[in-house]
Amino acid sequence: MVVFFQHAVSGLMVGAIYGLVAVGFVIIVKSSEVFNFAQGELLILGAFLCWSLIFQFSLPAWLAVLITLALAGLFGMAVERFPLRPMIGQPLFAIIMVTLTVGLCLRGLLTAVWGGMSWRVFKPALLPPEPLTIGGLNLSQQHIYGFFIAILVVVGLSLFFKYTRAGLAMRIVAEDHQVAQAMGISVRGVFRITWAMSAILAAVGGILLGSINGINIPLANIGLKAIPAALIGGLQSIPGAVVGGLLIGLLEGLSSGYIGHGFQDVAAYIVMIVVLIFWPHGFFGLERIERV
């Protein structure tokens, strides 16, 4: 039983970070109906930037994290300006392809700057590395910090959406672009903020994951793991994305513990396909009624 809880809890801890990345997907989908396949690359971009600032420019960790988040935000805005803005109103396929190519270019850029397959490890670690023992469970302190930072960010984000003017504007844009424009809200401005926020969320996830496991280019595939999380939760729901992320993390922890290494990557997709067959819009997604 202890082994079971061990796998489950460590899975959940990583799942929170997936949830964080999935929230990044969801806020872009909500405001602009664009599904960002480059989220994984944005994630390692943040991790690499932070690593470079700390260990190559030897900045203090807190400053490096702040600068990374600012740069990630700017980068998100740049991606929104080109190539995403000219794609407004294009069919779904073109938009999917454009974010995929953004991911490819970014991957090329990262390879050129930070180099192929080599691992970069945060040493000394940003978060305390010693494991804790709580009630018979061995827990990495980094995972616990990661979990709580992820939860904190998501709670902060929900409060932002609920209580600030910018959050209100974003919710209106998510509802209807024309209505938003009629109310004097700059839809483009909202898109820009959304992309910046999404890139920042990815960077937070990247820094957390990087500080736990180290970073290399193939880590970008983690973005592909957050996709099932976003879909299981429902593409329009922020709490859904977190639930989805936790579920995927749990599944990963258990399947790598009991079935074997390597299966966890596939398990997420199998569960996602099953969930989509029975709940085509995810657990908390909006059900759209279509007509001709």
Partner 1 sequence: MPLPSGIYNVTYKKDMAVFRTWDHWAWLIGLLVFLALVPAFANRSQLNILLTMACTIIAVHGLNLLTGFCGQISIGHSAFMAVGAYTSAALCNELGFSFWISMPLGGLAAGIVGLLFGAPSLRVKGLYLAITTLGAQFIIIYVIMHLPSITGGVRSLDVPPPAIFGFQVDSDHRYYYLAMTACVVVTYFVKNIARTGVGRAWVAIRDNDLAAEGMGISLFYYKMLAFFIGCFFAGISGSIYAHYLQTINIEYFSLMDSVWYLGMLIVGGLGHILGAIFGVVFIVLLREWVMKVAPLTSKTLPFLGVEFGAAMGLLVMGLVIMLFLVFEPRGLAHRWEIIKTKFRLYPFPY
When asked if residue 86 is in the footprint of partner 1 (CB under 8 A), the reply is yes
Q: Does 228 bind partner 1 (CB under 8 A)?
A: yes
Residue 290 binding partner 1, by CB under 8 A: yes
The whole-angstrom separation of Cα 171 and Cα 215 is: 34
Q: Which is nearer to partner 1, 13 or 235 (CB)?
A: 235
Quick check: 231 binds partner 1 (CB under 8 A)? yes
* C-alpha 262 chain-centroid distance: 21
Q: Which residue has the tokens 């180099």?
A: 115
Q: Token pair of 25, please?
A: 């997907």
Q: Counting contacts by CB under 8 A, is residue 273 touching partner 1? A: yes
Q: Which two tokens stand for residue 140?
A: 């990495």
* Stretch near partner 1 under the rule CB under 8 A, chosen from 48-56, 121-129, 194-202, 270-278: 270-278
DSSP 135-201: TTEEEEHHHHHHHHHHHHHHHHHHHHHHHSHHHHHHHHHHH-HHHHHHTT--HHHHHHHHHHHHHHH
Residue where the block lists tokens 């299966």? 263
Smaller CB separation from partner 1, 115 or 189: 115
Is residue 224 a contact point for partner 1 (CB under 8 A)?
yes
Question: Binding to partner 1 by residue 251, rule CB under 8 A?
Answer: no
- Residue 259, interface with partner 1 (CB under 8 A)? no
Determine the distance from the C-alpha atom of residue 146 to the mean position of all C-alpha atoms in its chain, rounded to a whole number: 13
User: How remote is the C-alpha of 185 from its chain's centroid?
Assistant: 27
* Shortest reach from residue 63's CB to partner 1, in Å: 27
Among 67, 88, 105, 168, binds partner 1 (CB under 8 A): 105
Tell me how far, at minimum, the Cβ of 141 lies from partner 1, in Å: 32
C-beta separation of 43 from 22 below 8 A:
no
- 261 touching partner 1, by CB under 8 A: no
For residue 235, state whether it binds partner 1 (rule: CB under 8 A).
Answer: yes
Among 55, 145, 161, 263, binds partner 1 (CB under 8 A): 263
List the one residue out of 288, 181, 291 whose CA is nearest residue 236.
Answer: 288
Q: Which of residues 90, 138, 164, 186 is near partner 1 by CB under 8 A?
A: 90
Residue 83 lies near partner 1 (rule: CB under 8 A) = yes
Told to check if 87 binds partner 1 by CB under 8 A, we report yes
Beta strands in the chain (DSSP E): 131-134, 137-140
Regarding 272 and contact with partner 1 (CB under 8 A), the answer is: yes
> Are residues 169 and 185 in contact, defined by beta-carbon separation less than 8 angstroms?
yes
Binding residues for partner 1, how many (CB under 8 A)? 45
From 13, 16, 72, select the one nearest 47 (Cα to Cα): 72
| Under rule CB under 8 A, residue 102 binds partner 1 | yes
List residues binding partner 1 (CB under 8 A): 35, 82-83, 86-87, 90, 92-94, 96-98, 100-105, 107-112, 115-116, 224, 227-228, 231, 235, 262-263, 265-266, 269-270, 272-273, 276-277, 280, 290-292
